[in-house]
């Protein structure tokens, strides 16, 4: 189950691979369903081993985490013209918390 701890740390997936290597990223630029399906397939094949970015927002972030992403990259969703969009950040966080 995906959830946020009270300290704001993600409890899902490793932050790094053995040997100190950083977690590889899947960046999904295309909106085509085939590419999205391929990205989800890669996440499912290596749970906790990939980060997902590109078009991630409040409506799809949990799908990528549930598919196995260790992290989602939401920079372009929460920042506009160099400013933090607090409403978008709050929406993202609210969609990410699951109640048991």
pLDDT at position 82 over 60: yes
The pTM of this model reads 0.69
- Predicted local distance difference test score (pLDDT) of residue 15: 43
pLDDT tens-digit readout, 8-29 = 334 344 444 445 556 677 777 6
Domains of the chain: total: 1
Domain contains 13: no
pLDDT tens-digit readout, 28-70 = 766 667 788 888 999 999 999 999 988 899 999 999 999 999 9
- C-alpha–C-alpha distance, residues 32 and 55, integer Å: 12
User: Three-class SS of residue 91?
Assistant: helix
Domain contains 90: yes
Q: Cβ distance 72 to 96 under 8 Å?
A: no
pLDDT at position 100 over 50: no
Residue 6, CA distances (Å) to 9, 41, 43, 63, 97 in order: 8, 31, 26, 22, 11
Domain extent for 84: 18-96
The partner residues of 16 in beta bridges, in order of sequence, read: 22
């Amino acid at each position: 189950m995906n959830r946020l701890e009270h300290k704001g740390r993600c409890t899902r997936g490793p932050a790094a691979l053995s040997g100190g290597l950083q977690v590889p990223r899947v960046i999904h630029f295309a909106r085509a369903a085939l590419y999205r399906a391929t990205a989800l397939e890669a996440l499912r094949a290596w749970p906790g081993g990939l980060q997902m970015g590109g078009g991630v927002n409040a409506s799809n972030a949990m799908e990528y985490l549930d598919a196995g992403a260790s992290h989602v990259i939401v920079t372009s969703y929460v920042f506009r013209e160099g400013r933090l969009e607090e409403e978008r950040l709050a929406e993202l966080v609210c969609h990410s918390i699951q109640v048991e």
